[in-house]
Amino acid sequence: MKKMLVLCTITSLSGSLWAVTNNNGVTLRSSQSDQAGYSLGYLLGKNNAEALQGINLDAFIQGLSTAAKGKQPVLSEQDMAKVLDRYKKQSEAKELNALQHVAEKNSREGEQFLADNAQKTGVMTTSTGLQYSTITTGTGKSPSKDSTVTINYEGRLLDGTVFDSSIARQQPVTLKISEVITGLAQGLSTMKEGGKSRFFIPAKLGYGAIGAGDAIGPDSTLIFDVDLIKVAD
């Protein structure tokens, strides 16, 4: 039965006309070449969606057609290189401008949050600007800057977005204090084994003006909940 189904499928695809039903329930008939061209164009657009943002797609298709048919382009390849270089620089400038606006917004919100947070009962502020509150006081040893620690943690942005959580994964992690962001390293030094703390980390002690991937924007203030399970020197 499976062999017959595959054979029927291949036979139907080998015909000169295909019947296609679009999302509106309308049945269209087009040649295999048309549908192959559409499919190739769709996949090309999907795989290069970011690069094609802001591009005149009609002009893009015209250029693609000219090259595919071996016709003479309206611009020399040298001119094309100049145009693309200018376009790239303009796009990068727009992205940088947008990034600067995000950084300024995050910085303002972070400064206001930390100023308000510093007034709350139980919140301590260190000389570096790190803020922390002790949820559970540990009874074991404290880590040094050279220690390896096993912790459970959850990191959040000010809006509550969780960007990483070993707690959600139910899998504590073991790491060297020297390899974590400065704010987290400083915070861990205030803890003892068995303790739990919440750290409020200014951007300068976190990922700074660069941020971290898509999850953490530039100049983001971070909040970490940390359980210190074990300290090893």
The set of catalytic residues is 153, 163-164, 181, 207, 224
Tell the residue number behind the tokens 């164009």, with chain if given.
41
Query: Which residue reads 């947070």 in tokens?
Result: 117
Residue 108 sits at φ, ψ, to 5 deg, of -60, -45
Q: Say if residues 149 and 228 touch (Cβ distance below 8 Å).
A: yes
What distance in Å separates the CA atoms of residue 87 and residue 82, rounded to the nearest whole number?
9
- CA torsion angle 226 124 216 176 (round to 10): -50
- Six token digits for residue 82: 């100049």
Position of tokens 């971070």?
222
> For the CA atoms of the chain, what is the radius of gyration?
28
Distance CA 163, CA 211 (A): 12
Per the listing, tokens 């540990």 go with 138
Could you tell me if 177 and 149 are in contact, meaning their C-beta atoms sit under 8 angstroms apart? yes
